[in-house]
Structure 1
Amino acid sequence: MSVSLILACAWALLANVLAMLPSRDNHWTRAYVLIALGIPLVGFVTYQNGPWVGLFVLFAGMSVLRWPVRYMFRWMRQTAAR
């Protein structure tokens, strides 16, 4: 297994551990940190393993961070409607 996939698995494990811990802001600060770490990681996975594995890791990260993704799509739809 490549280094990038090991890092992606570590990111997923970290995301699940952070989701189990209580938070005062409904985990939004942790979500921002995970997004900031995850975007370059998806690029690294895509670079080392190809676009299909990169898409798989992207969709896995989107399933973990589903509420920020949902709000992003809602914001994009409202912006496009203007």
Structure 2
Amino acid sequence: MSFSLTLVCLWAVIANILAMTPSADNHWRNAYVLIAVGIPLAGFVTMQHGPWVGLLVLAGGCSILRWPVIYLGRWLRRGATRGPAE
């Protein structure tokens, strides 16, 4: 296994451990750190293994961090329905 895929597996294990720990802010601080580390890791995997493996890693990260992705989708949808005049 390559170094980038090893790092992504380590990221996934850490994300699951963080999800099992109690948190006062509903894990949002953990999610911000995981996003900040996960995006460059996805780019590193894409650089080493190509876009298809990079998309699989991105989909895995989105499944682990699903609530930030859901809130981003709601925010984008809300902004698209307002229109440019508002």
TM-score category, normalised to shorter length: over 0.9
Number of equivalent positions: 82
User: Which residue of structure 1 lines up, in the alignment, with residue 34 of structure 2?
Assistant: 34
* Match runs of 1:59-78 below 5 Å: 59-78=59-78
**Offset of residue 48 of structure 1:** 0.3
**Offset of residue 45 of structure 1:** 0.3
Matching residue's letter, 2:81: A
User: Which residue of structure 2 lines up, in the alignment, with residue 48 of structure 1?
Assistant: 48
Is 1:11 aligned to residue 4 of structure 2?
A: no
Detail structure 1 runs of 4+ shifted over 3 Å in the superposition.
Answer: none
* Unaligned segments of structure 2, at least 5 residues: none
Return the alpha-carbon distance in structure 2 between the equivalents of residues 81 and 47 of structure 1: 36
Residues 31-51 of structure 1 show CA distances to partners (whole Å, capped at 9, x for unaligned) of 000000000000000000111
SS in 2 for 1:13: helix
Matching residue's letter, 1:20: M
User: Which residue of structure 1 lines up, in the alignment, with residue 24 of structure 2?
Assistant: 24
| Identity %, equivalent residues | 67
* Unaligned segments of structure 1, at least 5 residues: none
